[in-house]
């Protein structure tokens, strides 16, 4: 027992020594964040941010932000996880970093930060990417690029980013690597995973040591997403019987990115019927509720008002447009002629291509033996749990572990089913952004994903 302990300690000491003596490339060191404006005291992890070119000719570069695990958690032993938000056209800095799984949250003053006790960098080194060009601080010097973005180019640019980023951060080469994301990243994540997997074929010790992916409330298959979404709206009393029937007729088998005029009209009617709710979290008040309404709700939703600020993206707009913040994170170095925003409307409105289904990619990567987890917050009406379940059901995978409740501190945290090649997890009470609405449960899910453990089935 003693000799085993000695060997483990010796191994860790060797790693620490090698990390200390590792020669850090100059362009990596230039990207180190020394301190964020308004950050809390005693930050014990390294951060880097800056640009990686993906198309020199077009002048296209993507902005990244790396948050390493705390020193006490031995970051050199942790895997690397790339996080992508969707939209298409929404910022992983605005959402993933600043209001979901990043180490900090932004106070309503838009100037100061507070720590997120359930940050995912406690379990991994997390790399946030603003993609495609035109999103957040990522840019292109060719204006037409902003009007021609689409799934294929986004995937190719993201792969080029990874190849170039690993050259900038050679200490992460050959490290276990995962890709994660939510919403329209339900396209980005499997598409990028497919490219990495295919280009790793035949390479014995690949630089990008890809192990699998994790997606939440993910746009997956347009037909099943439509059917499941309309069913969710109807069963939750958000739309009328007549509108439910109209939606199923007019939007049948259509592209979710480019629906027909008739489908759009039906969707507009549905939106009117739903009223002033937050569709991403149907049981919590939207950002434009008055303070008096929030006060009146306090007796009914005491748990929500402590855990969730529906105006968080507004705080991001203030903070990341501060010149001192942009200087600290080495952003906007080319003088982008527009303010930083949470989502880029031009990018989303002119999206060039969007395949109807990701299921063929799922089948390919499941057959390859990669780790694939899909999770869903069950109060999201935008990409609801019913849509995800229909898509998974279409894969016709054998069941390994039947549907069961998983627990956190004796309480049901959600439900799970393990299939051959895929694990599905729901998080009860969570909206579209699971780490925002249920941060503790999201971290439990993330840890179990990394450890390849099923969700805890015991209430003890």
DSSP symbol at 172:
G
Q: Of these residues, 92, 183, 381, 391, which one is catalytic?
A: 183
Q: Of these residues, 187, 224, 315, 432, which one is catalytic?
A: 432
The alpha carbon dihedral of 390, 395, 399, 400 has a sign of negative
Pairing of strands 80-84, 176-182: parallel
**Is residue 104 within 8 Å of residue 116, measured between CB atoms?**
yes
**Is residue 30 within 8 Å of residue 330, measured between CB atoms?**
yes
Residues 199 and 221: their CA atoms lie apart, in Å, by 25
Instruction: Identify the three-state secondary structure at position 307.
Output: helix
Q: Is 193 part of the annotated catalytic residue set?
A: no
Q: Is 4 part of the annotated catalytic residue set?
A: no
Q: For 310, what's the count of Cα atoms within 13 Å in the CB-facing half-sphere?
A: 19
Residues 398 and 353: their CA atoms lie apart, in Å, by 32
Total residue count of the chain as it appears in this document: 460
Q: Of these residues, 151, 222, 380, 408, which one is catalytic?
A: 380
Task: Assess whether the previous peptide bond of 67 is cis (omega < 30° from 0).
Answer: no
DSSP symbol at 397:
P
**Is residue 349 within 8 Å of residue 399, measured between CB atoms?**
no
Contacts with 16 (C-beta within 8 Å, 6 or more apart), sequence order: 74, 76
- Return the H-helix or E-strand segment holding 272: helix 261-274
Residues 284 and 377: their CA atoms lie apart, in Å, by 13
Q: Is 174 part of the annotated catalytic residue set?
A: no
Catalytic residues: 183, 380, 432
């Amino acid at each position: 027992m003693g000799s085993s302990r000695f060997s483990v300690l010796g191994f860790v000491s060797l790693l620490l020594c090698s990390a200390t003596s590792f020669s850090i490339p100059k362009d990596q060191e230039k990207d180190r964040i020394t301190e964020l404006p308004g950050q809390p005291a005693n930050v014990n992890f390294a951060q880097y941010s800056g640009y990686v070119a993906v198309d020199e000719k077009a002048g296209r570069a993507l902005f990244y932000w790396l948050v390493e695990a705390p020193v006490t958690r031995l970051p050199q032993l942790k895997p690397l996880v790339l996080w992508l938000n969707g939209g298409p056209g929404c910022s992983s800095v605005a959402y993933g970093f600043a209001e979901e799984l990043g180490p900090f949250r932004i106070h309503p003053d838009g100037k100061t930060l507070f720590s997120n006790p359930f940050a995912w960098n406690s379990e991994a080194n997390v790399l946030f990417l603003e993609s495609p060009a035109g999103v957040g601080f990522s840019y292109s010097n060719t204006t037409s690029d902003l009007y021609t973005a689409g799934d294929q180019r986004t995937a190719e640019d993201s792969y080029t980013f990874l190849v170039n980023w690993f050259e900038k951060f050679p200490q992460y080469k050959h490290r276990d690597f995962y890709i994660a994301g939510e919403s329209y990243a339900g396209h980005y994540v499997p598409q990028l995973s497919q490219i990495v997997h295919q280009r790793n074929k035949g390479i014995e010790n690949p630089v990008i040591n890809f192990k699998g992916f994790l997606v939440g409330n993910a746009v997956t298959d347009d037909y099943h997403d439509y059917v499941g979404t309309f069913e969710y709206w109807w069963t939750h009393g958000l739309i009328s019987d007549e509108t439910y029937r109209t939606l199923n007729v007019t939007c049948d088998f259509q592209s979710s990115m480019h629906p027909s005029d008739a489908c759009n009209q039906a969707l507009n009617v549905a939106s009117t019927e739903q009223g002033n709710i937050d569709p991403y979290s149907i049981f919590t008040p939207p950002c434009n509720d008055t303070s008096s309404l929030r006060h009146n709700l306090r007796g009914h939703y005491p748990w929500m008002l402590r855990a969730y600020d529906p105006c968080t993206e507004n705080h991001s707009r203030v903070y990341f447009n501060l010149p001192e913040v942009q200087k600290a994170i080495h952003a906007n170095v080319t003088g982008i002629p527009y303010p930083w925003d949470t989502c880029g409307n031009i990018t989303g409105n002119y999206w060039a291509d969007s395949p109807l289904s990701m299921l063929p990619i799922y089948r390919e990567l499941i057959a390859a033996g990669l780790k694939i987890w899909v999770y869903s917050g069950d109060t999201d009406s935008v990409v609801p749990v019913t849509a995800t379940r229909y898509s998974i059901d279409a894969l016709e995978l054998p069941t390994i572990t039947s549907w069961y409740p998983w627990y956190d501190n004796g309480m049901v945290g959600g439900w799970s089913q393990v299939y051959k090649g895929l694990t599905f997890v729901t998080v009860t009470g969570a909206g579209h952004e699971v780490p925002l609405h249920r941060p503790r449960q999201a971290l439990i899910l993330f840890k179990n994903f990394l450890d390849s453990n099923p969700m805890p089935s015991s209430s003890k």
